[in-house]
Amino acid sequence: MKTFLSDGITLAYRDEGQGEPILLIHGFASSSHMNWVYPSWFRTLTEAGRRVIAIDNRGHGESEKLYDTALYPAPLMAGDAARLLDHLEIPRADVMGYSMGARISAFLCLQAPDKVRSVVFGGLGMGMVEGVGAPEPIALALEAPSLESVTHPVGRAFRQFAENTKSDLKALATCMRASRQTISADDVARIDRPALVAVGTRDEIAGSAAGLAALLPNGSALDIPGRDHMVAVGDKAYKAGVLDFLERRP
């Protein structure tokens, strides 16, 4: 992976393929590899003739680990994404984020709309506006002495995922406490780029895809059949829906 400096923080990224660029932004406790390489998104998109860029968010993957909550709000991570496009001299790209990455993508749309050609919000529907639950049980689960000592079901799921990805648990706990900013319905309505909201039908975290799509001036919803939050990202229906969306968007 290559690296660049974003406001003094060293961040890692991947850049493969040729053609129209798409920037991928992964979810919490994941990485560009776990979210986009392992589930074959890079192969799917490069074979479709696209240049694929994916960032490791601060505190994740091969990027610098930070332990100050002031450094993890989602709008700051949206700034990282914008600076990566500037670093690569890409004036405008399609953008796809999953879960936390979808929230970051929304802030990118609000902060730097001219850099976004279209946007896919994966794994996050009305939770973007209404919230997705308290962060503290997850943060405490990440700080627990062991997975076996965690009883909170959502916290346990995230702790297990973080261990599987060999993540820095302290950095993730710090991020969790700082990164779950909601976006008002009025601000969502300002995101005027072509937008697709893709959520698994068994996802109990994301909130309604159709509800968020209805707030977006150019939004549409995609149900990912039979998938929950953790596995929807690699689903074939999700990939097919995104490829179709990218072909249809202006």
- pLDDT band, very low/low/confident/very high, at 21 (cuts 50, 70, 90): very high
Supply the DSSP string of the chain, one letter for each residue. -EEEEETTEEEEEEEE--SEEEEEE--TT--HIIIIITTTHHHHHHHTTEEEEEE--TTSTTSPP---GGG--HHHHHHHHHHHHHHTT-S-EEEEEETHHHHHHHHHHHH-GGGEEEEEEES-STHHHH--S-SHHHHHHHHSS-GGG---HHHHHHHHHHHHTT--HHHHHHHHTT------HHHHTT--S-EEEEEETT-SSS--HHHHHHHSTTEEEEEETT--TTTGGG-HHHHHHHHHHHHH--
Mean pLDDT across 105-113 = 98
Supply the angle between the helices 169-176 and 136-143 in degrees, to the nearest 10.
170
CB 92 within 8 A of CB 117: yes
The distance from CA 247 to its chain's CA centroid, rounded to whole angstroms, is 21
Q: What mean pLDDT, rounded, does the chain reach?
A: 97
- pLDDT band, very low/low/confident/very high, at 77 (cuts 50, 70, 90): very high
Of the candidates 223, 233, 246, the residue with the CA atom closest to the CA atom of residue 40: 233
- pLDDT band, very low/low/confident/very high, at 101 (cuts 50, 70, 90): very high
Q: What is the pLDDT of residue 63?
A: 98
- pLDDT band, very low/low/confident/very high, at 158 (cuts 50, 70, 90): very high
Using the predicted structure, report yes or no on whether residue 177 has a pLDDT greater than 90: yes
Supply the DSSP string of 145-162, one letter for each residue. S-GGG---HHHHHHHHHH
The residue ranges of every structural domain in the chain are 2-130+181-248
Distance CA 182, CA 167 (A): 25
Q: What is the pLDDT of residue 76?
A: 98
Mean pLDDT across 72-76 = 98
Using the predicted structure, report yes or no on whether residue 240 has a pLDDT greater than 90: yes
Using the predicted structure, report yes or no on whether residue 87 has a pLDDT greater than 90: yes
Q: What is the pLDDT of residue 59?
A: 98
Lowest mean pLDDT among 30-34, 89-93, 116-120, 154-158: 154-158
Query: Beta-carbon neighbour count of residue 173 at 10 Å?
Result: 24
The residues, any chain, with a CB within 8 Å of residue 224's CB and separated by 6 or more, are 198, 199, 200, 201, 203, 232, 235, 237, 238, 241
Mean pLDDT across 228-244 = 97
Q: What is the pLDDT of residue 250?
A: 87
Cα end-to-end distance, the chain, whole Å: 32
Q: Report percent pLDDT > 90 for the chain.
A: 98
Classify domain 2-130+181-248 by CATH number.
3.40.50.1820
